[in-house]
A and B are shown apart, each in its own frame.
Chain A
Amino acid sequence: MFLINCPYCGERDQQEFKAGGEAHIERPKQPTELSDDEWAEYLFMRKNIKGVQFERWNHAHGCRKWFNMVRDTSNDEIKAIYKMGEKPPSQ
């Protein structure tokens, strides 16, 4: 179980958090303009990388804020944590 440095609360146990899948997949502003394939790309397709992955996390049993995390899924090393809306760090 890892420690997560919530950008609002500080370092907390992983138990307090909920993982929310891949980050930086923005909901299309005009869904009706999209073809079935384009919509499916947004709706269903996720990378599921073994290695460095950008993810969404939620401090569900704390401040309930969503934030982003860069995590190496092969060893759970957390490389960076940043707030929603902030630019992801370059790798």
Chain B
Amino acid sequence: MTKNLRVKSSEYIDETNRISFKFNGKTYHGFKGDTLASALLANDVHLVGRSFKYHRPRGIMTSGSEEPNAIIQINPGTNRTEPNVRATEVEIYEGLEASSQNCWPSVEFDIGGINNFLSPFFPAGFYYKTFMWPASFWEKYEFFIRHSAGLGKSPTSSDPDIYDHRNVHCDVLVVGAGISGILAAKNAAKNNFKTLLVDEKNELGGSTIYENNEFNKIDNKTPSEWLKKEIDELKGIKNLEIKTRTSVAAYHQYNYLLARENLTDHLEAKDKTNKIRQRLLKIRAKKVILATGALERPLIFNNNDRPGIMLSSAIKKYSEFYGVACGSKNVFFTNNDSAYESALSLYNKGINVEAIIDIREQSESKIVKKVKEAGIKIYWSHTIVDTTGYKRLNSVSIMKLSNDGTSVTGSKISILCDCLGVAGGWTPAVHLYTQSGSKLKFDQEKKVFLPNKNTSEQISVGSCGGDFKIDEIIKNLNQKLKDNLNIKETDLDNIKVEIDQENSKRNIWLLPSDKPMGKTKPFVDYQNDATAKDIKLALREGFRSIEHVKRYTTTGMGTDQGKLGNMHALGIIADTAGVKMGELGTTTFRPPYTPLTFGTIVGRNVGKFFDIFRRTPMNDWHVENKAEFENVGQWKRAWYYPINGETMHQAVQRESKAARESAGILDASTLGKIDIQGSDASEFLNRVYTNAWSKLAIGKCRYGLMLNEDGMVYDDGVTTRLGENHYIMTTTTGGAANVLGKLEDYLQTEWPELDVYLTSVTDHYATASLCGPNSKKILKKIIPDLDLSDKNFPHMSFKEANIGTIQCRIMRISFTGEHSYEINVQASYGKDLWKKCMEAGQEFNITPYGTETMHLLRAEKGFIIVGQDTDGTMTPIDLQMDWIVSKKKYDFIGKRSLYRSDTMREDRKQLVGLLTDDPNIVLEEGAQIVSELNQSPVEMLGHVTSSYFSPNLKKSIALAVVRGGKDMMGKKLFVPMENKNINVTVASPVFYDEKNERLNA
């Protein structure tokens, strides 16, 4: 039976709006305004999960995003499921389902709980130490370790939600809408700064909004009353935008922040559809005001992790804000006054507070007196030495603390309780501050890290800046706003604050127990089950750096990044190693502050927008004709066109034969095209290509090879001279963008004196490459009035012509060794041109071929493909292309490097042809080449770069790079494969039509 622990209606809970939800399959009720955590607590459910390593039962510890324990699976089994969600952040809605993680078969009975009893065998570094040997067993270990690793389950079907990104620019960004954030935003906006105020919660006001403490007054009102009035006044302010449910995840340099705005997570399923679920805000702020507040610290004592043990401040929030009592027999354990506020809050609502255990010797503040008057028993100088209760806290045992705080004395007192509020002081939330690159300093008096050296236009105000009392907060905020925003007056000038807050505190990082250390479980990192014992062990084993201890013990490495326990870890290390806190530094706080969904990170870049691709104007035809496609850079290129169920090999053999025997057609639109104009265009080409360009006649084409400055082949292609000062350059498909970038670089930085203009026209033209002995007849049919005689239109020349009304540029150039034409038309006519060619070629059985056949045909001719036969280490000399390197030109890019001692070595890898002794064996591309078989280790001479079965030669052919290959013509080499050694002979890389007779066939 569940108890109802609602205590008093709160204005933030709408009791007229009852909501039912399921947790671990059981239906519960809560109200509009509840979080999953507050609704579960109202139903007396504390046990919500199992810990990662020992499977210990764990309950809700906090009321905010710092929650380490209550991480649950939302909507399990659906396509909207999400693991590792903090129950303290989930706003409930009708139909919400949630379940515990890391337990089987259930959170109540978890088989893995046996780990808890085996825990002496799981010290820090257990996995590192245990699964070391034998090394060959790792694969077997891994299988089991993988099964126990990880929390929660990722969804298995695709995410139905929409995610978005938005750029936001503002003068002032205020992070956190507690009292400091609200006052900062209000004053910034009133002084004409375009201001954005964000808060991760759905309500403004932070913890002050439920601060009904009678001892603090602002302008004679309670802080909550006063702040509500301030919030009301925000509505009418121009220049101010407020975003709630918006968590800043990352704070990068230059005041660039990423925030996740939650838009539909709090809505019922039917209201979620077709709406943006989460939006990533990319914020550029001129100034950032951090008002991120402070997180309450727990205390580290033996068995401090049982369900029912919570932060004292969380108990207060559940009582004041949600109207929920977390227990019926409450005890507080504290080192400062804030637990007394929580105790009074419960007392005022008629909830039973059994006792307060205070490690201080005394406190005389008004609030302590008030608690005494209420008759609540206070145990001064006492500490908790143990707790009982497996799935719910049952009792605490306390003992007197010695004067130095390192041991306990006297007799043990046991106090029965079902809820323990722990108050260990406050830690400023400096996570975002340090992410920005700014530096912290340890304050020895307050025992906290505080902002010290700002690296960007930023201030930290309120408790994240080290001010914990309302009067200090307002006074310092006022001064910081005036200095930073350069304003004279604020409406904070005349605020009257009366407070009675006491900051006295006794800080002990690790509280002693009557049991020896080895027999205790004082948890420092709840989520990763790291105890003080583990940290001490790491130090004994020689770890000194905080970053190493962190990784070895996994302290602070959970999804909460140790928001609660990191300070204690540092404190325990400092105490044990005998150094001062400040000298250790801190661990690094990394983005995101709270986890982000993958959806938020990728935004709209999903599905076909994940990686954009480019299609040619002829693409539809290829699709209609069942082409298979391959990715070349961003392009989708037709790879081959199988008919009647052909395999790739069969299709390519057929296409290759047809192209040589009659006619073939290739979509070459993807080749990079750069329009080059200017009075120095010829000189420019002379400098970027290895061969000479000055004498190229107008209307002629020339093949060019481009090197890097290091002498290695970078790109190649045919360039055509269209006019006196006008060229069109083609580049490889994949290299187009880089070549343009490189040419622009040289023009702008090295040769600004040259009058040359470059324009990328790759997308402006569609190109059909018509090849084969019948290509001329086909072209004649399409353009009857163009004289195609070798005299008028020889190989390596260019003509402008019209196909009907379509203007086209035709180059008679060849990458296959056949008589061929590359016809370029304006891109929008590409498909039309292709169809005309197909129609005219029908009687010649014109065969469309894809990139694979193109590669085969050029390999028969020994033409290289940059990037396949070259790899950034091949010079033109290595490629046996000496003929294209001008000896006369004084300079070109890469020339000097061809005369370096290394590039002139005779034994460099050089491009050769390879023929297999058995003509039916096709070598594997990438296969290694050796000259000796019975030697170990054997020297690798090179590798196969291109390999095909040539249907025209009826044998296998290959191109390869081989050390000293130039002088090996006819030499027998071997290609050793897994099962056999293949005998090969070095040959000329030109296998077909060595005299180039077919170009004019």
* A interface list, Cβ under 8 A from B: 1-3, 18, 20, 26-28, 30-32, 34, 36, 39-40, 43, 56, 58, 60, 64-66, 75-76, 84-85
Q: Is B749 a contact partner of A32 (Cβ separation < 8 A)? A: no
For B749, the chain A residues whose CB sits under 8 A away are 56, 66, 84
Q: Is A2 a contact partner of B254 (Cβ separation < 8 A)? A: yes
Which residues of chain B from 712 to 755 have any CB-CB distance to chain A below 8 Å in the complex? 741, 744-745, 748-750, 752
Provided the pairs A2-B253, A65-B748 are in contact, do residues A36 and B895 lie with their beta carbons within 8 angstroms? no
Q: Is B544 an interface residue (CB 8 A)?
A: no
Rounded to whole angstroms, the CA-CA distance of A30 and B896 in the bound complex is 9
Q: Is B437 an interface residue (CB 8 A)?
A: yes
Q: How far is the CB of A69 from chain B (nearest CB, A)?
A: 14
Interface residues of B, CB < 8 Å — how many?
A: 24
Q: Is B890 a contact partner of A43 (Cβ separation < 8 A)? A: no
| Beyond known contacts A26-B750, A39-B896: 8 more, CB 8 A cutoff | A1-B254, A1-B256, A2-B254, A3-B254, A3-B284, A28-B896, A43-B897, A58-B745
Rounded to whole angstroms, the CA-CA distance of A76 and B750 in the bound complex is 27
A-B contact pairs, 13 of them (CB 8 A): A1-B253, A2-B253, A3-B284, A27-B750, A32-B899, A36-B901, A39-B897, A40-B900, A58-B745, A64-B744, A66-B745, A66-B749, A84-B752
Q: Is B748 a contact partner of A31 (Cβ separation < 8 A)? A: no
For A31, the chain B residues whose CB sits under 8 A away are 891, 895-896
Q: Mark B958-981, 1 if CB is under 8 A from A, else 0.
A: 000000000000000000000000
Provided the pairs A58-B741, A85-B752 are in contact, do residues A75 and B900 lie with their beta carbons within 8 angstroms? no
Rounded to whole angstroms, the CA-CA distance of A68 and B672 in the bound complex is 29
Shortest 3 CB-CB contacts between residues of A and residues of B: A31-B896, A2-B254, A66-B748
Rounded to whole angstroms, the CA-CA distance of A32 and B895 in the bound complex is 8
Most buried by B among A36, A60, A75: A36
For A20, the chain B residues whose CB sits under 8 A away are 745
Q: How many A-B residue pairs have CB under 8 A?
A: 54
Q: Is B252 an interface residue (CB 8 A)?
A: yes
Q: Is A1 a contact partner of B252 (Cβ separation < 8 A)? A: yes
Rounded to whole angstroms, the CA-CA distance of A31 and B896 in the bound complex is 6
Q: Is B709 an interface residue (CB 8 A)?
A: yes
Q: Is B925 an interface residue (CB 8 A)?
A: no
Q: How far is the CB of B963 from chain A (nearest CB, A)?
A: 22
For A58, the chain B residues whose CB sits under 8 A away are 741, 745
Q: How far is the CB of A4 from chain B (nearest CB, A)?
A: 10
Q: Mark B213-253, 1 if CB is under 8 A from A, else 0.
A: 00000000000000000000000000000000000000011
Which of B710, B748, B890 has a CB less than 8 Å from the CB of A32?
A: B890
Q: Is B484 an interface residue (CB 8 A)?
A: no
Rounded to whole angstroms, the CA-CA distance of A65 and B254 in the bound complex is 23
* A44 and chain B: residue at smallest CB distance: B710
Rounded to whole angstroms, the CA-CA distance of A84 and B284 in the bound complex is 28
Q: How far is the CB of A28 from chain B (nearest CB, A)?
A: 8
Rounded to whole angstroms, the CA-CA distance of A30 and B741 in the bound complex is 24
For A1, the chain B residues whose CB sits under 8 A away are 252-254, 256
Q: How far is the CB of A40 from chain B (nearest CB, A)?
A: 8
For B896, the chain A residues whose CB sits under 8 A away are 28, 31-32, 34, 39
Q: Is B455 an interface residue (CB 8 A)?
A: yes
Which of A18, A60, A84 has a CB less than 8 Å from the CB of B748?
A: A84
* B711 and chain A: residue at smallest CB distance: A43
For A28, the chain B residues whose CB sits under 8 A away are 896
For A39, the chain B residues whose CB sits under 8 A away are 896-897, 900
Rounded to whole angstroms, the CA-CA distance of A25 and B750 in the bound complex is 10
* A66 and chain B: residue at smallest CB distance: B748
Rounded to whole angstroms, the CA-CA distance of A31 and B894 in the bound complex is 10
* B interface list, Cβ under 8 A from A: 252-254, 256, 284, 437, 455, 709-710, 741, 744-745, 748-750, 752, 890-891, 895-897, 899-901
Q: Is A43 a contact partner of B748 (Cβ separation < 8 A)? A: no
* B758 and chain A: residue at smallest CB distance: A64
Provided the pairs A39-B900, A64-B744 are in contact, do residues A32 and B253 lie with their beta carbons within 8 angstroms? no
Rounded to whole angstroms, the CA-CA distance of A66 and B745 in the bound complex is 7
Q: How far is the CB of A22 from chain B (nearest CB, A)?
A: 12
Provided the pairs A1-B253, A31-B895 are in contact, do residues A43 and B745 lie with their beta carbons within 8 angstroms? no
Rounded to whole angstroms, the CA-CA distance of A3 and B285 in the bound complex is 11
For B891, the chain A residues whose CB sits under 8 A away are 30-32
Q: How far is the CB of A63 from chain B (nearest CB, A)?
A: 11
Q: How far is the CB of B675 from chain A (nearest CB, A)?
A: 15
Q: How far is the CB of A75 from chain B (nearest CB, A)?
A: 6
* B745 and chain A: residue at smallest CB distance: A66
Rounded to whole angstroms, the CA-CA distance of A66 and B746 in the bound complex is 10
Rounded to whole angstroms, the CA-CA distance of A2 and B437 in the bound complex is 13
Q: How far is the CB of B707 from chain A (nearest CB, A)?
A: 12
* B256 and chain A: residue at smallest CB distance: A1
For B901, the chain A residues whose CB sits under 8 A away are 36
Which of B252, B741, B900 has a CB less than 8 Å from the CB of A60?
A: B741
For B745, the chain A residues whose CB sits under 8 A away are 20, 58, 66
* A78 and chain B: residue at smallest CB distance: B254
For A84, the chain B residues whose CB sits under 8 A away are 748-749, 752
Q: How far is the CB of B238 from chain A (nearest CB, A)?
A: 25
Q: Is B254 a contact partner of A43 (Cβ separation < 8 A)? A: no
Which of A32, A56, A75, A85 has a CB less than 8 Å from the CB of B455?
A: A75
Q: Is A43 a contact partner of B710 (Cβ separation < 8 A)? A: yes
Rounded to whole angstroms, the CA-CA distance of A58 and B749 in the bound complex is 11
Rounded to whole angstroms, the CA-CA distance of A56 and B745 in the bound complex is 10
Q: How far is the CB of A62 from chain B (nearest CB, A)?
A: 13
For B750, the chain A residues whose CB sits under 8 A away are 26-27
* A1 and chain B: residue at smallest CB distance: B256
For A26, the chain B residues whose CB sits under 8 A away are 750
Provided the pairs A75-B437, A84-B748 are in contact, do residues A43 and B709 lie with their beta carbons within 8 angstroms? yes
Rounded to whole angstroms, the CA-CA distance of A70 and B752 in the bound complex is 22
* B254 and chain A: residue at smallest CB distance: A2
Rounded to whole angstroms, the CA-CA distance of A66 and B748 in the bound complex is 7
Rounded to whole angstroms, the CA-CA distance of A84 and B741 in the bound complex is 16
Most buried by A among B741, B748, B752, B901: B748
* B710 and chain A: residue at smallest CB distance: A43
Most buried by B among A18, A26, A43: A43
Q: How far is the CB of B411 from chain A (nearest CB, A)?
A: 58
For A3, the chain B residues whose CB sits under 8 A away are 254, 256, 284
Rounded to whole angstroms, the CA-CA distance of A27 and B899 in the bound complex is 17
Q: How far is the CB of A18 from chain B (nearest CB, A)?
A: 8
Rounded to whole angstroms, the CA-CA distance of A30 and B897 in the bound complex is 13
* B890 and chain A: residue at smallest CB distance: A32
For A60, the chain B residues whose CB sits under 8 A away are 741
Q: How far is the CB of A39 from chain B (nearest CB, A)?
A: 5
Q: Is B895 a contact partner of A76 (Cβ separation < 8 A)? A: no
For A43, the chain B residues whose CB sits under 8 A away are 709-710, 897
* B709 and chain A: residue at smallest CB distance: A43
Q: How far is the CB of B171 from chain A (nearest CB, A)?
A: 15
Rounded to whole angstroms, the CA-CA distance of A23 and B648 in the bound complex is 50
* A23 and chain B: residue at smallest CB distance: B749
For A32, the chain B residues whose CB sits under 8 A away are 890-891, 895-896, 899
Q: How far is the CB of A15 from chain B (nearest CB, A)?
A: 10
For A27, the chain B residues whose CB sits under 8 A away are 709, 750
Q: How far is the CB of A78 from chain B (nearest CB, A)?
A: 9
Rounded to whole angstroms, the CA-CA distance of A66 and B86 in the bound complex is 48
For B741, the chain A residues whose CB sits under 8 A away are 18, 58, 60
Rounded to whole angstroms, the CA-CA distance of A71 and B706 in the bound complex is 32
Rounded to whole angstroms, the CA-CA distance of A77 and B709 in the bound complex is 31
For B437, the chain A residues whose CB sits under 8 A away are 75
For A34, the chain B residues whose CB sits under 8 A away are 896
* B900 and chain A: residue at smallest CB distance: A36
Rounded to whole angstroms, the CA-CA distance of A50 and B993 in the bound complex is 58
Q: How far is the CB of A72 from chain B (nearest CB, A)?
A: 11
Q: How far is the CB of B988 from chain A (nearest CB, A)?
A: 32
